[in-house]
């Protein structure tokens, strides 16, 4: 049973690049008080991905190195929202902070999937481009072309965070049509997407359990129908 609950609705800024730049991540690191970011150490940190649950170390990109540092800093400070950003931004972070098995599937019929299969099949449902939360499929559209996809084709998501008294974290995600998708009040919206006009799918939830020094993903469950 989830206790002590707090909700956060993230403002979304339209993405203008294919992928998150190292500059954006460096700014996020500075905002969360990373020592290396404050010192301007752009080349510091690990150069291979953590072995984690997969048993294989891989060369790290600059963005992966920065997001791993972002996640580690969030773990030290107990900032789950910052951790969740890093987790969504980077496959390397998901390699480190995913449980050995993940409850996966549709609500009522989910089953335990080995972590290697979960990661290799790219089941994680969310993506983030710059500061924009969206479905994984929408984020992939930015990887297919140098030109950002039409705004009406991007499925942004609304996130609701719940924290239990034992520090379990639950993130509910709901895809929808926002004012920006419909071209409404564009001058007033500026860089934002505006209010959620209507859901465009049932969405789902992600569950993270606390570990001795951070959190790990244990459940990725899709709703059968839109929550009422």
Domain spans, the chain: 22-222
pLDDT at residue 100 tops 60: yes
pLDDT exceeds cutoff 50 at 123: yes
pTM equals: 0.76
- Taking residues 21-28, report their average pLDDT: 50
Q: Residue 10: what pLDDT? A: 38
| Contacts for 176 with CB less than 8 Å, ≥ 6 apart | 155, 156, 157, 158, 196, 197, 198, 199, 200, 201
Query: How many Cα atoms are found within 13 Å in the side-chain-facing hemisphere of 49?
Result: 22
Q: Report the pLDDT averaged over residues 33-47.
A: 48
Residue 181, pLDDT score? 78
Q: Kindly give the residue spans of alpha helices, DSSP state H, lying in 5-61.
A: 22-31, 35-38
Confidence of residue 120 (pLDDT cuts 50, 70, 90): very high
Q: Specify whether the CB–CB gap between 164 and 207 falls below 8 A.
A: no
Please tell me which residue, 153 or 161, carries the higher pLDDT value.
Answer: 161
Evaluate if residue 69 carries a pLDDT over 60: yes
């Amino acid at each position: 049973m989830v206790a002590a609950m707090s909700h956060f609705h993230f403002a979304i800024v339209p993405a203008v690049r294919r992928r998150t730049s190292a500059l954006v991540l460096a700014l996020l690191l500075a905002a969360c008080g990373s020592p290396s970011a404050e010192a301007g150490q752009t080349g510091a940190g690990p150069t291979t991905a953590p072995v984690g649950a997969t048993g294989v170390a891989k060369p790290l990109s600059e963005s992966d190195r920065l997001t791993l540092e972002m996640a580690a800093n969030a773990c030290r400070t107990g900032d789950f929202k910052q951790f969740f950003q890093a987790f969504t931004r980077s496959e390397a972070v998901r390699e480190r902070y995913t449980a050995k098995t993940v409850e996966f599937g549709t609500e009522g019929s989910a089953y335990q999937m080995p972590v290697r299969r979960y990661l290799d099949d790219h089941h994680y449902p969310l993506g983030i481009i710059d500061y924009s939360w969206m479905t994984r499929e929408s984020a992939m559209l930015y990887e297919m072309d140098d030109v950002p996809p039409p705004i009406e084709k991007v499925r942004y998501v609304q996130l609701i965070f719940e924290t239990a008294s034992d520090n379990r974290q639950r993130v509910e995600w709901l895809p929808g049509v926002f004012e920006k998708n419909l071209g409404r009040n564009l001058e007033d919206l500026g860089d934002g997407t505006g209010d959620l006009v209507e859901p465009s799918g049932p969405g789902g939830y992600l569950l993270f359990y606390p570990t001795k020094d951070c959190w790990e993903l244990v459940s990725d469950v899709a709703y059968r129908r839109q929550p009422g």
